[in-house]
């Protein structure tokens, strides 16, 4: 099984976990989905170092890992309430519907504070203005994958992107007198950025 297939399986596991936990907390199931959760955690741990993945795959892993961490924070609070018994009417509502807004905000802040276990390192490549077709395609794919996972739409195609890179490279080489230009795909404030900087 390829890495992409296993990541698809991981995404499916997290979706199914949410459905099965919703059923459990809603009274439709007697037991929490422990077996499915074990499989999900095993897959998360398998790819936690990120060494076998390319930029797009690491980005995809981070997205599903963060989603699981947020869900898991909610599930643990609901399980605690369910085990201790509903002390107040609002706790009973919480057990079925989900966390109160202040608790959800706290969970999101905790997730942002700790981050994900894999650092989505910027994808970068240098161009000298020659026939760097394969490198341009790799940069285009990394940019497209990153935008896809953040929900951003891109109207550019490979041909127009290659023309843009060639023009930008020529412009920066002339302006700075450099031999090459390094392009990188980075994340800033939840948005994908393409950055270019001159290299000696």
Q: Provide the domain count of the chain.
A: 2
Q: pLDDT band at residue 98, thresholds of 50, 70 and 90? A: very low
106 and 144 co-located in one domain: no
The domain boundary residue, chosen from 48, 80, 114 = 114
pLDDT of residue 111: 44
- Asked whether the predicted pLDDT for residue 193 surpasses 50, the reply is yes
Q: Is 62 exposed, middle or buried (0-12, 13-18, 19+ CB in 10 A)?
A: buried
d(CA 82, CA 72): 15
173 and 133 co-located in one domain: yes
Domain region containing 38: 3-114
32 and 97 co-located in one domain: yes
107 and 9 co-located in one domain: yes
- Asked whether the predicted pLDDT for residue 185 surpasses 90, the reply is no
User: With contact defined as beta carbons under 8 Å apart, do 10 and 40 qualify?
Assistant: yes
- Asked whether the predicted pLDDT for residue 40 surpasses 70, the reply is yes
pLDDT, mean over the chain: 77
93 and 127 co-located in one domain: no
- Asked whether the predicted pLDDT for residue 134 surpasses 90, the reply is no
pLDDT of residue 87: 52
- Higher-pLDDT residue of 6 and 130 is 6
- Asked whether the predicted pLDDT for residue 161 surpasses 80, the reply is yes
Average pLDDT of the residues in 135-159: 78
Please report which helix (H) or strand (E) contains residue 23, including its range: helix 3-25
pLDDT of residue 151: 73
Q: What is the DSSP string of 63-124?
A: HHHHHHHHHHHHHHHHHHHHHH---SHHHHHHHHH---HHHHHHHHHHHHHH--SS--PPEE
Among left, alpha and beta (phi > 0; psi -120 to 50; other), residue 12 is alpha
């Amino acid at each position: 099984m390829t890495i992409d297939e296993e990541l698809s399986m991981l995404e499916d596991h997290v979706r199914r976990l949410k459905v099965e936990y919703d059923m459990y907390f809603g009274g439709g199931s007697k037991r929490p989905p422990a077996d499915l959760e074990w499989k999900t955690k095993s897959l998360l741990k398998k790819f936690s170092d990120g060494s076998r993945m390319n930029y797009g795959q690491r980005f995809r892993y981070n997205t599903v890992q963060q989603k699981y961490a947020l869900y898991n924070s909610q599930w643990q609070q609901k399980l605690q309430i369910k085990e201790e018994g509903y002390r107040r009417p609002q706790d009973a509502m919480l057990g079925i519907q989900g966390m109160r807004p202040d608790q959800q905000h706290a969970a999101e802040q905790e997730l942002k504070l700790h981050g994900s276990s894999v650092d989505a390192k910027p994808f970068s490549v240098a161009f000298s203005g020659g026939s760097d077709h394969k490198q341009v395609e790799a940069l285009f794919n990394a940019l497209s994958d990153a935008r896809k996972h953040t929900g951003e739409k891109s109207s550019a195609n490979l041909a127009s992107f290659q023309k843009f890179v060639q023009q930008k490279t020529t412009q920066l080489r002339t302006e700075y007198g450099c031999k090459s230009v390094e392009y990188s795909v980075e994340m800033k404030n939840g948005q994908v950025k393409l950055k270019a900087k001159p290299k000696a």
